[in-house]
Homo-oligomer: A and B are copies of this chain.
Amino acid sequence: MAAVRILVTGGTFDKEYDELTGVLFFRDTHVPEMLRRCRARLDLTVETVMMIDSLDMDGVGRASIVARCRDAAEHAIVITHGTDTMCETAAALAKALLPAKTIVLTGAMVPYAFGSSDGLFNLGSALSFVQVLPPGVYVAMNGRHFVWNAVRKNRETGVFEAANG
């Protein structure tokens, strides 16, 4: 059974509704609850690196993610990440040259706490790709996987699509 580490960084995936202020915010990650619900039976470790909107992700944050990937004992790593700057973080990971690691970034367009989230589907997709793809850095969204330098988020449609690196 594959050992997989899930690094949580926040993003839409984990946003919740604050009923007193009416704004979306972060509390704890929903990933462990999602894994229980889906009866995942991998050798999984969930580690929260940060809980931020990916528009607030900066070089320091990306360096922290790179360090966690480098330090992880696992060769398979899934990163939950906001979609807006997911490709930038993927690029930072690729430049860090971690040759023995398969790293898959995923996220959600709608928070898991909403009834209609795509989060479960994307998590299932990322966990599957990470077990079978060769070492490298990938984005898994919309049921597809892309090498880090061949993908962009189309901001008009919210869909990830093939792009020249």
Contacts and interface: CB of A to CB of B under 8 A. Distances in A.
A118 interface: yes
Interface residues of A, number: 52
A164 to B, nearest CB: 16
Nearest to A111: B17
Interface of A: 1-2, 12, 15, 17, 19-20, 22, 24, 34-35, 37-42, 53, 109-111, 113-116, 118, 120-129, 131-133, 140-145, 155-156, 158-162
A30 to B, nearest CB: 11
Given A17-B111, A115-B114, A158-B20, A41 B142 contact: yes
Contact of A142 (B40, B116, B126, B161): B40
A38 B121 contact: yes
Contacts of A42: 142-144
A128 B2 CA distance: 16
Contact of A128 (B34, B39, B143): B143
A33 to B, nearest CB: 10
A156 B115 CA distance: 27
Contacts of A126: 128
Given A39-B141, A42-B144, A132-B133, 17 more contacts: A2-B144, A15-B22, A19-B109, A20-B155, A20-B158, A22-B24, A35-B143, A40-B143, A113-B115, A118-B120, A120-B121, A123-B124, A124-B128, A125-B125, A126-B128, A128-B143, A129-B132
Given A41-B142, A41-B144, A121 B123 contact: yes
